[in-house]
Amino acid sequence: MNANFEPHAISRRTFLKGAGAVGAAGLLAACGGSNSTSSASGATSGAASAPAASNGGAPLTEIYSYESNVRELEKWNVLYSQNASDFNVLTNCVDGLLSSDCYGKPVAAIAESWEHNEDSSVWTFHLRDDVDWCDVNGEVKGHITAKDFLVGTEWVLNQYKNEASNTSMPTTTLLGAQEYYDYTVEQGDAAANLTYQDMLDHGVGIEAPDDYTLVFTCKNPCPYFDTVAGYVCFYPASEDLINELGIEGFRAATYAEMYYCGPYLIEEFVQSNTKSFVPNPNWYGADDHSRFERVVVTMLTDVVTGYQLYQNRELDEIELTESTVTQIQNDPSNEYNDQMCERQPKKYSYQFHFNYQRFNDDGTPDDNWNKAIANTAFRQCFMKGLDLTRYFARTNPINPLKCENDYYTMRGVCYNTQGVEYTSLVGKKMGYGAYDGETMIRLRDNGGDIADLKKQAMDELSAIGVTFPVHCWNYILSSNATQQDSAAVLKQAFSDCFGDDFIVLDTGEYVSSLTQEVINAQRESYASSGWGADFGDPINFLGQETLTDANAYYSWNYSNIAKVYEAGPADWQADLIDIYKQFEQKVHDADAIVDDIDARYDAFADAEAYMLQNALTMPALYEVMLALTHINDYTKINAMYGICNYKYVDWQTSEEAYTTEQYQEFEAAYEAAAKA
């Protein structure tokens, strides 16, 4: 075994055959935990029960899982992070007002019940009175009351303290939040001395009538506010810890310094190697939820190594590469032949994000690429002409087209009052075909012959000095065999679809951090990135791509279009900027509709269709993986927004690996229960 995967102070797996485990099977029925109550306003939010199903194996007392080593946690402060790789860990250590059940519905966490007024503009959350802060050793450090949520909200809204991280949700929904954020910007360094009382005095729409009640007042009616309130922008913070560490110290706190209130504590953390969790002895939910005695997450350089660890029973799950699936599938005698399980789609909608301000390795602008990608016909060639079927097969070799993504917003984030899923509205505006109640049938290359579009792009670009072929740079992790194979598949797809006279895909490498070495240096021509919703409304997706909004994540950090606009665009970027302006206006107009959900979603669908028709970014992939597993995914939290999906609570597990047939049965039971 590779030395990078040697356990550190963690014993190898022992098989405990008894039923006295802390975690899972037999306790499955309460997949969402406690029900919440509601007032007569109709804000009912209850936990659904997962379909009870087992293969007869004894439950696991410990879980051994993994993560890619390019997705190592970087920040331990949940208020300051905006990265899923951080949240997947921190969701096990810190709880917020609400969580979700296995069907993605909001359920109680620190708030045991909640309700709203008639027009959904005022939301009241009733907190538990038995929630404590503790340190990494499990020593109680304080009691959580409504004050901790006021402290946390002020921290997020204070630009000096949180540096604009996670501000977009409260500033767009909460009364007075944008004004207070702007005030902290004006105050500069003096904002360090502001407290939650200053925030209240400025009229921000949050108050604590008593120690265990929080009342939020929204700018406008906000029927999805419970999905916002459950996000990290409204997580609690310990004033004592902030005072102890100082602002910079709290922002950059290590796991050993941070306070926790979630189901687990960090037992050990070895950077880029392993992290282990043990139950928090002070967790308020211990009597109502099942946990594991230990969870160990091993960082893998590639899943090929993970497959070996799974075979040795050093992992309880492993997602399969295309080559491994083929190997198993072609050998009827292979012990895993009937155990390849198709997982639920992950909550991320992946895109190829074009970089409109690329720099060469020497720091000079790559004008050839920058001019080309500013051209609409050139971008549309990607949308209409690039066949990614073989690329999808890298994720799901058996059903590759299950991975095809035609939208920007993730499916299932929200539904209109008629029960119509939002992306189907986008599909209709795009002319993708009839919606059959389950899927939208895409009419690929709906815009005509790709050869005509290619000629148009080459003619228009040649006129402004672009030379062909245009070189498109894709970056992968050095020495990562899986990424190398995927890059080769993509390179062949570019060649087959575009011809080597038009666009050539070049592959660059980075050593350890894609963000630090490539994205921040703006060396990529495009980057593949998946966005998962923070709350249940399309603005959370489309708002990341607007031109002038300070919190538009992708516009500032990936496409860099906001930087282009801020610096002053060149003449050949004028049309691109105009398209972005029109898109932004459509997004703002849609977001201004607050009293009619159907009209709101229709307007957002119009904005998203406009973005896709102009190929400002390219939808690429859904993650629908094949896996070998001892974990029933259908008992996990499965929300299309928020951070809770990786919480190791209430999982059904088995020492006997699940089979393909059993997973198909789990899926059928889950879908039937979801529709009931």
Q: CATH number for the domain including 360?
A: 3.10.105.10
Question: Taking the complete model, does pTM exceed 0.75, yes or no?
Answer: yes
Under the banding of pLDDT at 50, 70 and 90, the label for residue 557 is very high
pLDDT-above-90 percentage for the chain: 81
* 166 conformational bin, left if phi > 0, alpha if psi -120 to 50, beta if neither: left
* CB 534, CB 231: distance < 8 Å: yes
- Asked if pLDDT for residue 141 goes beyond 80, the answer is yes
Which residue range forms the structural domain that includes residue 546? 351-622
Residue of higher predicted confidence among 30 and 425 = 425
How wide is the angle at C-alpha 219 spanned by C-alphas 147 and 91, nearest 5°?
45
What is the predicted pLDDT for the residue at 54?
61
> Do the beta carbons of residue 575 and residue 356 sit within 8 Å?
no
Q: What is the largest CA-CA distance in the chain?
A: 75
Question: For residue range 407-424, what is the model confidence (pLDDT) as tens digits?
Answer: 999 998 998 989 899 999
Asked if residue 125 lies in contact with residue 229, where contact means CB atoms within 8 angstroms, the answer is yes
How confident is residue 534, by pLDDT bands cut at 50, 70 and 90?
Answer: confident
At 165, the amino acid letter reads S
Which H or E element spans position 114? strand 111-116
308 in a structural domain: no
What is the C-alpha to C-alpha distance for residues 582 and 607, in angstroms, rounded to an integer? Answer: 9
Convert the pLDDT of each residue in 490-523 to its tens digit. Answer: 999 999 999 999 999 999 999 988 999 999 999 9
Tell me, rounded to whole angstroms, the distance of Cα 168 from its chain centroid. Answer: 16
Rounded (10°) CA dihedral 452, 458, 459, 460: 110
User: Residue 385's pLDDT is what?
Assistant: 93
pLDDT band (50, 70, 90) for residue 18: very low
Residue 21 has pLDDT above 60, yes or no: no
The pairing of beta strand 264-270 with beta strand 111-116? unpaired
Shared domain for 230 and 356, answered yes or no, is no
Per-residue pLDDT band at 434 (split at 50, 70, 90) = low
Last residue of a domain, one of 265, 293, 311: 265
Q: Mapping DSSP to helix (H, G, I), strand (E, B) and coil, where does residue 99 land?
A: strand
Whether the pLDDT of residue 353 is over 50: the answer is: yes
Which of 277, 347, 374, 303 shows the shortest CA–CA distance to 580? 374
Would you state the pLDDT for residue 371? 98
Reported confidence tier of residue 5, pLDDT bands at 50, 70, 90:
very low
* pLDDT confidence tier of residue 655, bands split at 50, 70 and 90: very high
* Cα torsion angle, 414, 417, 420, 424, sign: negative
Confirm whether 672 is domain-assigned: no
- pLDDT at residue 598 is higher than 80: yes
Over residues 558-574, the mean pLDDT reads: 97
269-299 per-position pLDDT tens digit: 999 999 999 999 999 999 999 999 999 999 9
User: DSSP states of 125-194 as a string?
Assistant: EEEPS--EEE-TTS-EEEE--HHHHHHHHHHHH-HHHHTTTT-HHHHHHBTTHHHHHHHHHHHGGGGGG-
pLDDT at position 352 over 70: yes
pLDDT at 309 over 80: yes
Contact partners, residue 197, CB within 8 Å, separation at least 6: none
Q: What are the tokens at 85?
A: 């790789």
Please indicate, yes or no, if residue 48 is contained in any of the structural domains. no
Domain closes at, from 246, 265, 284: 265
Number of domains in the chain: 2
Question: Per-residue pLDDT averaged across 455-467, rounded?
Answer: 98
Question: Which of 220, 243, 265 is the last residue in one of the domains?
Answer: 265
Parallel, antiparallel, or unpaired for β 140-143 and 206-210? unpaired
Gap between the Cα atoms of 601 and 421, Å rounded: 10
Q: DSSP string spanning 236-301?
A: ---HHHHHHHHHHHHHT--TTT--B-SSEEEEEEETTTEEEEEE-TT-TTTTTS---SEEEEEEES
Contact (Cβ atoms closer than 8 angstroms) between residue 218 and residue 122: yes
Residue 471 host element (H or E): strand 470-477
Question: Which pLDDT score, from 0 to 100, does residue 424 have?
Answer: 94
Q: Is residue 121 part of a domain?
A: yes
Tell whether 52 is covered by a domain: no
Residue 604 lies in a domain: yes
- When pLDDT is averaged across residues 330-352 and rounded to a whole number, the result is 95
In the prediction, which pLDDT does 32 show?
A: 36
Q: Which residue has the tokens 């998962």?
A: 532
Cβ(112)–Cβ(128) below 8 Å? yes
Average pLDDT, the chain: 89
**Residues 304/70, Cβ–Cβ less than 8 Å:** no
pLDDT band at 479; cut points 50, 70, 90: confident
Q: 92-119: per-residue pLDDT in tens?
A: 999 999 999 999 889 999 999 999 999 9
How far apart (Å, rounded) are the C-alpha atoms in residues 290 and 284? 12
36 touches 97 (CB < 8 A):
no
Q: Indicate whether 640 belongs to any domain.
A: no
Q: What is the pLDDT of residue 56?
A: 72
Contacts of 624 by beta carbon, 8 Å cutoff, 6+ apart:
342, 343, 344, 345, 346, 395, 396, 399, 402, 403
Say whether pLDDT at 82 is over 70. yes
CATH number at residue 230: 3.90.76.10
**Residue 43 predicted with pLDDT over 90:** no
Q: Order across the sheet with 618-622: list the strands.
A: 526-531, 349-354, 618-622
Alpha carbon distance 274, 67 (integer Å): 9
- Coil/strand/helix, residue 29: coil
Q: Rounded mean pLDDT of 441-462?
A: 77
Residues 115 and 215 in one domain: yes
pLDDT in tens, 168-224: 899 999 999 999 999 999 999 999 999 999 999 999 999 999 999 999 999 999 989
- The answer to the question of residue 219 being in a domain is yes
